[in-house]
Amino acid sequence: DGGITQSPKYLFRKEGQNVTLSCEQNLNHDAMYWYRQDPGQGLRLIYYSQIVNDFQKGDIAEGYSVSREKKESFPLTVTSAQKNPTAFYLCASRDSSYEQYFGPGTRLTVT
């Protein structure tokens, strides 16, 4: 089956710890995206990558970092510098027809 996987579905961390969220796709898409979703708000773009070894900041990149060493993988690290990290994180990829597909999401809770 082709698709996007995110793991884990739920993640709990203590304040001050870095945490890495996994995103893998086997759709052979070049472009991948990370979004953050908070209650009552739309999706806000954290980082995106158009191609391997390249990525761009989105609207709310502060406190986050990414890497794109392989086409299939686009992990997101939430650092201790992110002031309000508790949120639902969504990874997506885009095909050449500009259709964007989403993973199931990871709910991160930081206490």
Partner 1 sequence: GEDVEQSLFLSVREGDSSVINCTYTDSSSTYLYWYKQEPGAGLQLLTYIFSNMDMKQDQRLTVLLNKKDKHLSLRIADTQTGDSAIYFCAEYGARTGNQFYFGTGTSLTVIP
Interface residue list for partner 1 (CB under 8 A): 4, 6, 31, 33, 35, 40-45, 48, 50, 56, 58-59, 90, 92, 98-105, 107
CB 44, CB 59: distance < 8 Å? yes
Residue 8 has which token pair? 């884990």
Q: How far is 30 from 70, CA to CA, in rounded Å?
A: 10
How many angstroms separate the first and last alpha carbons of the chain? 36
CB atoms within 10 A of CB 62: 11
Smaller CB separation from partner 1, 10 or 14: 10
CB of 86 to partner 1, least distance (A): 15
CB of 98 to partner 1, least distance (A): 5
Task: Look up tokens 């908070």; give the residue.
Answer: 38
Query: Nearer to partner 1 by C-beta: 50 or 109?
Result: 50
Smallest distance, partner 1 to C-beta of residue 103, A:
5
User: Whose Cβ is closer to partner 1: residue 9's or residue 14's?
Assistant: 9
